Structures are given as structure tokens and as C-alpha cells.
Amino acid sequence: MSSHTEHPVRRSPSRRTAVTAAALIALFAWVLDQATKTWVVSTMALGERIDVLPPVLYWQYHLNPGAAFSMGTDHTWLFTVIMVVVLAYVVWRARHLGGSWRWAAALGGLVGGVCGNLTDRLFRPPGFGLGEVVDFIAVPRFAIFNVADSFIVCSMIVICLLMLIGLHLDGTRVTSSESSHDDPEGHEQEDREQEELR
């Protein structure tokens, strides 16, 4: 009787499955963001603050015409253009998405978050492309933000980590040969050292 224990093989999703998962995550992020903003606008007065987990977390209704930390309030249209460009680039890059759940989750969260804030810019007052973004999540000594912002920040952190560990968008990992190509000078130095030893 064999004592060998078989371990289940972890299967990567197909490209179609990964793209579908990314699209569903993006839709979930967008719906959650817009639903919470609709709730805030319909139930709270502008500037109103509600205790959630004091002194750590509050709801505070705030309209942001600028970027993060209310910067650039006189250039709202510029942030609308930037969001459109970022969204177009991420969707274009998603063509290379392969069998990676982690990349699917990261791209889906990023797209959903950008779409959430872009919806505000396009369709909320004072006008198309100039709309003010609804923020309501407040923590001490920090900016007031929203669900879309949370998805964007968390997704960017995951993307940076995936790049750091060498996981490509298509689900493959960085190989030693790729690393040497990325550093041709180091590769040439090694060749010279080996030649000198001979």
C-alpha cells in the first residue's frame, strides 16, 4: 500500500474566465460605489457627519470638484480627461490578460473604481464632465473618500505587488533569461569576468 499522498493541482483560469471575472468585479465595484453614493445623497445633508466607529470611522457627506485631498478644484475637466485616458489604457491592456485570478481581480477593481468616479464627473452637477464626486468615508487626519477610491487604491497596491514578484499580465512569470535581457550591461560584465578568468 503506497503512502504517497496526492496533492490537488491548482489550475489557472482560462483567458475567457479571467476576463469574465475581471468584468464582474468591475461591475460589482461600480454598482457598490454608485449605490452608496445614492444612499448618501438621498439620506444625508451636505457636510453632515454620522458616527460609525468613533473615533476611527465616520460618514461625512462631501462633494469634491478636484482630485484627491480636494486638489485642483479649478481644473475638474482635466481630471475627467485623465480618468477617460486611464480607463481606455487599462481596457486596452486587458487584451493581454491571461490565466491569472490576481491580475483579473486587480484590473477589475481598478476599472470599476475609475468608472465609479467617472460616472460622477460625467452625470452629476454642475454639468457634464464637471460633476462633483461624492465622498463620504472619513477617518481622522486623512482625506474624505469613497468606495471607488478604495477600489482604485487597493487595486494599484495589488498591481505593484504583482509586478514586484514578476507575475506577467498573461499569467506567466519572469524567467532568468528575461532578467538578463533587462540588464544587458550586467550580462556583459559577467561575460568579461568569465573571459578574464580563462
Known catalytic residues are: 135, 149
Q: Cα separation of 94 and 91, whole Å?
A: 5
Instruction: Give me 104's grid cell.
Output: 483579473
Instruction: Give me 33's grid cell.
Output: 460605489
Nearest to 159 by CA among 86, 109, 118: 109
Which residues touch 149 (CB under 8 Å, ≥6 apart)? 68, 113, 117, 135, 137
Cell 491571461 sits at which residue? 98
Q: Count CA within 13 A, CB hemisphere, residue 100.
A: 22
